Structure 1
Amino acid sequence: MPVKVFISHKKEDAEQAAAISAHLVSRGLQVYLDVIDTKLGMSGPDLADYIRSRLHQCTQLLAVISAQTQASWWVPWEIGVATEKERFLASFVSGGATVPEYLLKWPYLRTRANLDAYAQESKRAELLVEERIQKGYRPTARATGFRAFHTSLKAALRQP
């Protein structure tokens, strides 16, 4: 499965999310960004089911974290769904926002150079997953890639 990043963000951060999306696409990654999705007129359980189906089609979730994110119900929910599905996780911290404690477990980005490292490690981890599947380790391939991605990206970003 090629790398496809679900960009989770609060509506007020749509411009930042679009810039991140464009940068990742320029680095060879596919992106799902809801601002270009015409089916998001749904609400309640229908919207939740739709978002789950879109996350299922993605290999990763990148959450845009800003001062506005604290008022979001959807961003934490999407992070929870992605965790449940063993999607590679990271956050892009915008402005002067701080990373919520529960997200410090995963890599967090702040700059374009960090996005470049994210793209590079994403491709590397997906190759590892594909390699493990080809060698017959399908049941553990995604979990192995999940751990490798987080470990190598945190090392590249010099994060504990």
Structure 2
Amino acid sequence: MSLIHSGQLRARAQQGQQFTKSAGRIKLEAALEGYGERPHDIFLSHSKLDEEEIYGLKLMLEDYGHSVYIDWIDDPHLDREEVSKETAALLRARMKSSRSLLYVTSENSVKSKWTPWELGFKDGSSGRAAVLPVATNETSTDAYDGVEYLALYPYLSEYRDSEGKKRLWINWTHTNYIRFDDWLDGEEPYQR
């Protein structure tokens, strides 16, 4: 199973048409569409400091046919720097309407005020929470060993199936895994 790496995400972001627009324009268009209010397959828990990689990840996950919630795109009016009951209530509603949460690990994610809370909330409410480790380079892409509380969660990887088709997988180990789509439908990883 291969971890997703930051270079792959930056390249995908650069292919995306929206990233060439200003961040303000993207937020305005999303707000006008009411995009944040609809249900999503994935609530992406991340650090805003990783904006380019996160945008590339959104596009990559959408390439697989999944809808993705990103707060600064779907709810641009939110002030993520402000910890308030109103912000928490809106994020809670978005997580409840999302089928899963992927916690994106990076050097910046440990600085986030919200990501640990989001991960714990989604895990407690639906159990459909996983870690999405972003490798810093292509050579470190085989396995993930979570640190501290992140080791309590399965992780997402990308790999070709037996028919050669690239797919997303949820893994506990390199021999205990399941297709991401099946996990979204409530199945659990199993030993191979």
Q: CA RMSD in A?
A: 2.8
Name structure 1 gaps, 5 residues minimum: 128-144
TM superposition score normalised by structure 2:
0.59
Name which one, 1 or 2, has greater alpha-carbon Rg: 2
- Residues 100 and 184 in structure 2, CA contact (< 8 A), matched pair in contact too: no
- 1:2-151 equivalence runs, <5 A: 4-37=41-74, 38-41=76-79, 43=82, 44-96=84-136, 99-109=146-156, 112-113=158-159, 116-118=167-169, 121-127=179-185, 145=186, 148-149=187-188, 151=189
- For 1:10, the aligned partner's letter is S
- The structure with more helix, counted as a fraction of residues: 1
* Counterparts of 1:14 and 1:87, CA distance in 2: 26
Per-residue CA distance 1:114-148 (angstroms, 9 max, x = gap):
99323882322344xxxxxxxxxxxxxxxxx2xx3
- For 2:122, the aligned partner's letter is A
- For 1:29, the aligned partner's letter is H
Per-residue CA distance 1:23-60 (angstroms, 9 max, x = gap):
11111111111121223147411101110011011010
Paired-residue identity, %: 27
